[in-house]
């Protein structure tokens, strides 16, 4: 086990870095996607509600691995049929899109629940003063919703981090993929996967601890 | 009264929630400077009527003019009209993420009616008026119900409204706090503010109302001076209601 760590530690750390990069990029886009679809879902327009629901249901109804295959292999194949033969995603691009879409759907639900947890009277009071719906959302509703959303968002962050391992199937050199490489090279399967597991745990336990701390300070602020 | 202008003109107002008819053909005119108190059993449509005036509820049919502007018309800028209609809610609805002074200054500054400094100055004046200038930096969660409601009144007044709507402003308060809120409202009456008040405080109605309107089942059953409606009601339903609450 020590030999593996000695020989491969540089590559393991680099792979962990890729995992974190993929996680952060996906989360960033997922936040934007989530916010857009959450706002659609809480709006009064039936059309927007419908679009929001279809997105969330469709993405949540597809396993991430299938979504990843669809985007990474399916879309370039489709592009080829349409005559764009050189269109390809890099593994990072494909992985980020798949993960952001997936995480975005869950994020939309978290944000929607957060917005709906704010008392209706807050919006009414704001509207009664002559502020528009958009301004009321931005100034009054969303700042209050964010507080209740923080624990769920961090939880989603952890889930997304773990989901990056699924993207080893499209060849992105993240931690799990590195595990495959190392165990293939060394044949020390048990030790390799134990080390990979420990790498994930280190990050996730750290994140959980930070989450707890943020949660507590938010609750104090109430 | 003859020369005063009509502040609120409501004609044949109807409001349905799905199949439930809450307001059935309601017509009323409210004059500038008039204090109208709406009383009636719960479910009679008082609050819904009030919320139709600033379009927190859309109307099913009928005309509602406030300050001469048709609030039911899609072409009316409802936000502009609402700037002139102050509203005070049963559950205060202070912005929980803002402190007391910010609650008051937020709308005038955002809507560019005042600069930040003007709004702060005005806010402090209003807080002094409702006796809460020492609480300017407090957050709503740190205030008692009565204090919250006084801040809510100050918040509405900061917009310099032409009319104030009160939706059961004392119903969610502990009994010992009702007086402080009514006192602020009485001051507004003395200043000549046009007010429409939904309340269960019959004593308040008797003392300050120019007109008392008794509603039941989505209709105006009886209206007149407090002397007429509260002391000498004619309609059996009014008599029945007053017997229960007095």
User: B64-108: per-residue pLDDT in tens?
Assistant: 999 999 999 999 999 999 999 999 999 999 999 999 999 999 999
User: How does the average pLDDT of chain B come out, rounded?
Assistant: 94
pLDDT score for A221? 57
* Token pair of B151 as six digits: 């801040």
Residue B82 contacts A where some CB pair is shorter than 8 Å: yes
- Give the residues across from B42 on adjacent strands: none
The minimal CB distance from A121 to the residues B79, B91, B111 is found for B91
Residue pair B166/B185 in contact (Cβ under 8 Å)? The answer is: yes
Residue A6 contacts B where some CB pair is shorter than 8 Å: no
| Residues 6+ positions from B189 with CB-CB distance below 8 Å | B35, B195, B208
Question: Which chain B residue has its CA at the smallest distance from A133's CA?
Answer: B79
User: Quick check: B97 and A143 CB within 8 A?
Assistant: yes
SS3 state of residue A86:
coil
Q: pLDDT tens across B169-209, in order?
A: 999 999 999 999 999 999 999 999 999 999 999 999 999 99
Q: pLDDT tens across A90-113, in order?
A: 999 999 999 999 999 999 999 999
Q: What is the largest CA-CA distance in chain A?
A: 70
Tell me the average pLDDT across B42-61.
Answer: 94
Q: What b-and-e string marks burial along A81-113, b requiring 16 or more CB atoms within 10 Å of the CB?
A: eeeeeeeebebbebbbbbbbbbbbbbbbbbbbb
B92 min Cα distance to partner chain A (Å): 8
Q: List, as one string, the DSSP characters of B152-189.
A: HHHHHHTT--SEEEEESTTTTS-HHHHHHHHHHHHHHH
Residue A218 contacts B where some CB pair is shorter than 8 Å: no
* Token pair of A64 as six digits: 């991430």
pLDDT score for A6? 83
Taking alpha carbons only, the member of B216, B239, B169, B164 closest to residue B195 is: B164
Using the predicted structure, report yes or no on whether residue A222 has a pLDDT greater than 60. Answer: no
DSSP type of residue B5: P
Residue A135 contacts B where some CB pair is shorter than 8 Å: yes
Q: ipTM value of the model?
A: 0.93
B159 CB neighbours in chain A (<8 A) are 129-130
Question: Which chain B residue has its CA at the smallest distance from A136's CA?
Answer: B107
- Give the residues across from A193 on adjacent strands: none
A130 CB neighbours in chain B (<8 A) are 79-83, 107, 111, 159
Using the predicted structure, report yes or no on whether residue A211 has a pLDDT greater than 90. Answer: no
User: Quick check: A130 and B82 CB within 8 A?
Assistant: yes
The minimal CB distance from B110 to the residues A128, A131, A144 is found for A131
* Overall residue count recorded for chain A in this entry: 222
Residue pair B86/B163 in contact (Cβ under 8 Å)? The answer is: yes
- Give the residues across from B163 on adjacent strands: B85, B194
Taking alpha carbons only, the member of A19, A3, A4 closest to residue A181 is: A4
Q: pLDDT tens across A39-57, in order?
A: 999 999 999 999 999 999 9
pTM here is 0.87
Which of these ranges, A107-121, A139-153, B127-141, B183-197, has the smallest mean pLDDT? Answer: A139-153
């Amino acid at each position: 086990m020590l030999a593996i760590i000695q020989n491969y530690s540089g590559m393991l750390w680099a792979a962990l870095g890729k995992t974190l990069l993929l996680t952060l990029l996906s989360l960033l886009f997922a936040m934007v996607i989530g916010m857009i679809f959450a706002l659609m879902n809480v709006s009064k327009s039936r059309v927007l509600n419908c679009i929001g629901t279809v997105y969330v249901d469709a993405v949540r109804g597809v396993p991430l691995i299938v979504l990843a295959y669809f985007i990474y292999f399916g879309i370039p194949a489709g592009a080829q049929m349409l005559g764009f033969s050189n269109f390809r995603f890099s593994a990072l691009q494909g992985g980020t899109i798949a993960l952001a879409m997936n995480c975005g759907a869950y994020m939309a639900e978290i944000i929607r629940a957060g917005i709906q947890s704010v008392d209706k009277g807050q919006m009414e009071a704001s509207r009664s003063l002559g502020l528009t719906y958009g301004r009321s959302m931005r100034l009054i509703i969303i700042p209050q919703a964010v507080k209740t959303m923080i624990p769920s968002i961090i939880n989603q962050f952890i889930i997304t981090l773990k989901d990056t391992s699924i993207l080893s199937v499209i060849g992105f050199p993240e931690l799990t993929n590195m595990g495959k490489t190392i165990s293939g090279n060394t044949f020390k399967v048990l030790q390799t996967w134990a080390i990979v597991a420990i790498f994930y745990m280190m990050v996730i336990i750290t994140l959980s601890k930070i989450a707890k701390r943020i949660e507590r300070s938010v609750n104090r602020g109430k | 009264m003859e020369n005063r202008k009509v502040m609120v003109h409501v004609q044949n107002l109807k409001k349905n929630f799905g199949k439930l008819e809450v307001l059935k053909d309601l017509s009323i005119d409210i004059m500038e400077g008039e204090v109208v108190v709406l009383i009636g059993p719960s479910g009679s449509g008082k609050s819904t009527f009030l919320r139709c005036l600033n379009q927190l509820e859309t109307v099913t049919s009928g005309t509602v003019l406030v300050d001469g502007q048709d609030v039911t018309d899609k072409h009316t800028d409802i936000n502009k009209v609402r700037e002139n209609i102050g509203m005070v809610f049963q559950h205060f609805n202070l912005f929980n993420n803002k402190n007391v002074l910010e609650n008051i200054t937020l709308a005038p500054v955002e809507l560019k009616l005042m600069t930040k400094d003007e709004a702060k100055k005005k806010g402090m004046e209003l807080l002094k008026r409702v006796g809460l200038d020492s609480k300017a930096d407090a957050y709503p969660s740190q205030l008692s119900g009565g204090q919250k409601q006084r801040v809510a009144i100050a918040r509405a007044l900061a917009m310099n409204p032409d009319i104030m709507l009160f939706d059961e402003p004392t119903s969610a308060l502990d009994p010992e706090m009702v007086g402080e809120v009514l006192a602020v409202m009485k001051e507004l009456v003395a200043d000549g503010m046009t007010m429409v008040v939904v309340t269960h405080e019959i004593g308040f109605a008797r003392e300050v109302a120019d007109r008392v309107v008794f509603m039941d089942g989505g209709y105006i059953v009886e209206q007149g001076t407090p002397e007429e409606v509260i002391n000498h009601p004619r309609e059996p339903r009014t008599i029945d209601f007053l017997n229960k609450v007095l």
